[in-house]
């Protein structure tokens, strides 16, 4: 197929065109050993010690944005969900829903991103599915991935183990992904535009796993941002979180856009960050281990677990304190 080609309904018809698309474009790029025979299902040997299983769907617009594309997200999203649940990611499935008319060049870039990200995460794509829908029935393409990982034996992650005095760590700057996508979607032309932080956190999780039960709980702050993750974690618990605004890591470009639009970066999605609740004695060690990794070089301690049931607060730069709540709905530009 040539560079100018587009996806047609024939590519989803199950005939020769379908097979050609899958063999020449998809399997050639992303196929590991198990996918080579184009199976509808993969037969795998389960690791001992339990499995972690997760799935996620990706519908981002635009498909490509500064710092990555939907292919990177589809791998990192599921790898990270498996990782923060205490798993070492092993295998992914890849489901593609393609809109009739999607430029083949776009699909190729997305698939290359999937392949590159999977390699970098040391996961194998072992099964997949491709459907084509008529023009107008999806927005370019949607991607679903499901992932299976081996449970890391040393971790016992449970929000109920979070204790007063624990430290809250985050592996890097907040909200870059959400702001990058918002700028790309709205066509803001900025000299110094935010870049998505899309990336894997499994190595950060593995590094934290060395500290065993001192690591109480982890999450990746995606939709709803850090605020949503912290609020959900302490909901119904006898403890809360107190954040220090002075310590929150924020990149210059994301901050600038957030200030301009009146968006709180605490509510904005990251796609390559992890938040960990750690016992105070291991927190500095976890930070040191994270900072030794490229994806964790911006890791910081952002606050403490306190005896305030279910509440997340922020000690502001001005010296005041406020409740950090979850946004009611979507993030909207404000008039005031």
* C-alpha to C-alpha distance for 299 and 290, rounded to whole angstroms: 7
Q: Which region among 110-118, 129-137, 172-180, 323-331 touches other proteins (by CB under 8 A)? A: 323-331
- Burial (CB count within 10 angstroms: exposed 0-12, middle 13-18, buried 19+), residue 317: exposed
Indicate whether 176 belongs to the interface with other proteins (CB under 8 A). no
Binding mask 259-278 for other proteins (x = CB under 8 A): x-xx-x--------------
Q: Which region among 42-50, 61-69, 103-111, 317-325 touches other proteins (by CB under 8 A)? A: 317-325
Which residue lies nearer to other proteins by CB, 61 or 316?
316
Indicate whether 62 belongs to the interface with other proteins (CB under 8 A). no
Q: Is residue 11 within 8 Å of 97, Cβ to Cβ?
A: no
When binding is defined by CB under 8 A, the residue of 16, 186, 189, 191 that contacts other proteins is 186
Q: Which region among 121-129, 139-147, 200-208, 310-318 touches other proteins (by CB under 8 A)? A: 310-318
Q: Which region among 27-35, 114-122, 128-136, 311-319 touches other proteins (by CB under 8 A)? A: 311-319
Nearest to 181 by CA among 166, 160, 197, 205: 197
Indicate whether 247 belongs to the interface with other proteins (CB under 8 A). no
Q: At its nearest, how many Å lie between other proteins and the CB of residue 243?
A: 11
Indicate whether 319 belongs to the interface with other proteins (CB under 8 A). yes
* C-alpha to C-alpha distance for 328 and 336, rounded to whole angstroms: 17
Indicate whether 16 belongs to the interface with other proteins (CB under 8 A). no
Distance in angstroms between the alpha carbons of the first and the last residue of the chain: 51
Q: For other proteins, how many residues bind (rule: CB under 8 A)?
A: 33
Indicate whether 334 belongs to the interface with other proteins (CB under 8 A). yes
Residues in CB range of 322: below 8 A, 6 or more apart: 313, 314, 316
Q: Which region among 25-33, 53-61, 91-99, 250-258 touches other proteins (by CB under 8 A)? A: 250-258
* C-alpha to C-alpha distance for 212 and 62, rounded to whole angstroms: 40
Indicate whether 316 belongs to the interface with other proteins (CB under 8 A). yes
Tokens representing residue 318 in the block: 């001005």
* C-alpha to C-alpha distance for 201 and 148, rounded to whole angstroms: 15
Q: Is residue 306 within 8 Å of 239, Cβ to Cβ?
A: yes
CA angle 166, 219, 155 (to 5 degrees): 70
Q: Which of residues 195-234 bind other proteins (CB under 8 A)?
A: 231
Q: At its nearest, how many Å lie between other proteins and the CB of residue 334?
A: 5
Nearest to 305 by CA among 316, 297, 313: 313
Q: Which region among 75-83, 103-111, 171-179, 258-266 touches other proteins (by CB under 8 A)? A: 258-266
Q: Within a 10 A sphere around the Cβ of 188, how many other Cβ atoms? A: 14
Q: Is residue 301 within 8 Å of 172, Cβ to Cβ?
A: no
Indicate whether 326 belongs to the interface with other proteins (CB under 8 A). yes
* C-alpha to C-alpha distance for 43 and 33, rounded to whole angstroms: 11
Q: At its nearest, how many Å lie between other proteins and the CB of residue 319?
A: 5
Indicate whether 59 belongs to the interface with other proteins (CB under 8 A). no
Point out which residues bind other proteins (CB under 8 A). 186, 188, 231, 235, 246, 252, 255-256, 259, 261-262, 264, 310-311, 314-323, 325-326, 328-329, 332-336
């Amino acid at each position: 197929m040539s560079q100018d080609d587009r996806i047609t309904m024939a590519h989803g018809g199950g005939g020769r065109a379908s097979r050609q698309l899958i063999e020449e474009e998809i399997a050639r790029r992303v196929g590991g050993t198990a996918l080579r025979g184009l199976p509808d299902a993969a037969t795998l040997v389960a690791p001992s010690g339990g499995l972690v299983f997760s799935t996620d769907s990706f519908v981002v617009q635009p498909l490509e944005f500064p710092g990555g594309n939907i292919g990177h997200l589809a791998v990192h999203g599921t790898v990270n969900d498996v990782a923060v649940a205490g798993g070492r990611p092993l295998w992914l499935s890849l489901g593609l829903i393609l809109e009739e008319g999607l430029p083949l060049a776009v699909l190729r870039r997305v698939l290359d991103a999937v392949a590159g990200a999977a390699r970098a995460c040391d996961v194998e794509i072992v099964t997949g599915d491709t459907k084509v829908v008529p023009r107008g029935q999806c927005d370019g393409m949607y991607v679903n991935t499901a992932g299976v990982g081996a449970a890391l034996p040393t971790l016992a992650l449970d929000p109920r183990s979070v204790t007063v005095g624990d430290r809250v760590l985050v592996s890097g700057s907040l909200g870059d992904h959400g702001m990058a996508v918002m700028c790309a979607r709205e066509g803001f032309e900025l000299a110094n535009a935010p870049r998505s932080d899309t990336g894997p956190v499994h190595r950060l999780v593995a590094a934290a796993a060395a500290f065993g039960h001192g690591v109480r709980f982890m999450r990746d702050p995606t939709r709803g941002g850090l605020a949503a993750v912290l609020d959900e974690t302490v909901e119904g618990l006898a403890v809360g979180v107190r954040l220090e605004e002075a310590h929150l890591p924020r990149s210059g470009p994301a901050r600038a856009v957030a200030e301009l639009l009146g968006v709180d970066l605490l509510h904005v999605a990251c796609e390559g960050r992890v938040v960990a609740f750690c016992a105070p004695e291991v927190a500095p060690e976890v930070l040191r281990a994270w900072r030794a990794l490229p994806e964790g070089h911006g890791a910081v301690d952002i606050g403490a677990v306190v005896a305030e049931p279910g509440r997340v607060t922020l000690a502001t730069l001005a010296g005041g304190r406020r409740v950090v709540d979850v946004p009611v709905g979507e993030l909207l530009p404000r008039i005031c």
